[in-house]
Copies of this chain bind each other. A is one copy, B any other.
Amino acid sequence: MAVKLEKPDQYQEFLDKFDVFLFDCDGVLWNGNEPLPGVKKTMELLRSSGKHVFFVSNNSTKSREDYKKKINAHEIEAKLEEIYPSAYSSAIYVKKVLKLPEDKKVFVLGEGGIESELDRVGVKHTGGTDASLRRAVNSDDLNNVRPDPSVGAVLCGMDRHVTYLKYCMAYQYLQDPNCAFLLTNQDSTFPTNGTFFPGSGSISYPLIFSTGRTPKVLGKPNDEMMEAIVAGVNFDRKKACFVGDRLNTDIQFAKNSGLGGSLLVLTGVSQENEFLEKDAPVVPDYYINSLGDLAKVA
């Protein structure tokens, strides 16, 4: 049964329970480019109370550096090592778990954030923001695009420049069972300018359906994201709380990774009716109208 936080004494009791707070960003700290009221003050309160803070996002279009700029632009303090976008957890997975041999490269169906993070861990890549792939397939492609043993993995994320040519290339590479199939996250939608558009999980579906293969998903709610976080810093999971706006990614992530608590904010995707109904598949421990409310602690 989810507890609604509505009063200052409830806010204080909630804050006292945890030493570490992990935040989803869009729909929690801001909405698109719009700041959410009181959030800056809440984040300052956490810092001044000695809490540890992390930023954990499934958005794969941005690197850690990009995210730092965006968070700081909202006047919220954030250090690089506190920031975990799915582009980062994906690069860590390719380097440390997949241990991609040096003579192999990753075909990226995605944007610059993924490329930056692969560069940082020293993994070669192709595809991605290569502007020469933003065109129609031609008969040469149809004759020449075939499995390529130098491609050791296809890593798929959000790609607002997706083309049929990129799908054809990724499809052919994935015909080789030794070519890993990775996905930064499976979010069906991507919140933009107060509405939604298809997300990373949707963009990758042509490859899932055409190849019949199941990708390894590296973002929330999967444990690979938590592995990437704890590889950088250690903390007691029981004293940590995840704060997010999506039941099936954020709140599920708290549960999958054994965190002590989860807080759903109602400023983003998921709404009250989705978890208050009988047999709701995912229920947060706590929920609150807006993260900014916490600053109203007595």
Does A177 sit at the interface, judged by CB under 8 A?
Answer: no
25 pairs of residues in contact across A and B, judged by CB atoms under 8 Å: A136-B160, A137-B160, A142-B192, A142-B193, A142-B197, A143-B193, A146-B195, A159-B164, A161-B164, A162-B164, A163-B163, A164-B197, A164-B198, A164-B203, A167-B202, A171-B197, A172-B195, A188-B209, A197-B210, A198-B206, A199-B210, A201-B209, A202-B210, A205-B205, A205-B208
Residues of chain B with a CB closer than 8 A to A203's CB? 164, 167, 206
Q: How far is the CA of A210 from the CA of B186 in the complex (A)?
A: 10
Does A212 sit at the interface, judged by CB under 8 A?
Answer: yes
| Residues in A125-167 with C-beta less than 8 Å from chain B | 134, 136-137, 139, 142-143, 146, 159-164, 167
Residues of chain B with a CB closer than 8 A to A195's CB? 146, 172
A177 to chain B, nearest CB (A): 16
**Chain A interface residue bracket vs B:** 35 or more
Q: Which of B161, B188, B192, B193 contacts A210 (CB 8 A)?
A: B188
A298 to chain B, nearest CB (A): 41
Q: How far is the CA of A193 from the CA of B172 in the complex (A)?
A: 13
Q: How far is the CA of A208 from the CA of B162 in the complex (A)?
A: 17
The answer on a CB contact under 8 Å between B198 and A205 is no
Residues of chain B with a CB closer than 8 A to A188's CB? 209-210, 212
A284 to chain B, nearest CB (A): 21
A112 to chain B, nearest CB (A): 13
Find the residue from A134, A139, A160, A207 having the highest chain B CB count within 10 A: A160
Does A168 sit at the interface, judged by CB under 8 A?
Answer: yes
Does A12 sit at the interface, judged by CB under 8 A?
Answer: no
Find the residue from A188, A196, A209 having the highest chain B CB count within 10 A: A209
Residues of chain B with a CB closer than 8 A to A197's CB? 137, 142, 164, 167-168, 171-172, 210
Q: How far is the CA of A212 from the CA of B167 in the complex (A)?
A: 22
Contact with B along A165-179 (1 / 0, CB 8 A): 001100110000000
Q: Which of B139, B142, B146, B162 contacts A163 (CB 8 A)?
A: B162
The answer on a CB contact under 8 Å between B206 and A202 is yes
Does A189 sit at the interface, judged by CB under 8 A?
Answer: yes
Q: How far is the CA of A188 from the CA of B211 in the complex (A)?
A: 8
The answer on a CB contact under 8 Å between B209 and A202 is yes
Other than A134-B136, A137-B197, give 17 A-B pairs with Cβ distance below 8 A: A136-B161, A142-B192, A143-B193, A162-B164, A163-B163, A167-B198, A167-B203, A168-B197, A172-B197, A188-B210, A189-B210, A198-B210, A199-B210, A202-B206, A202-B207, A202-B210, A205-B205
A228 to chain B, nearest CB (A): 25
The answer on a CB contact under 8 Å between A206 and B205 is yes
Contact with B along A94-128 (1 / 0, CB 8 A): 00000000000000000000000000000000000
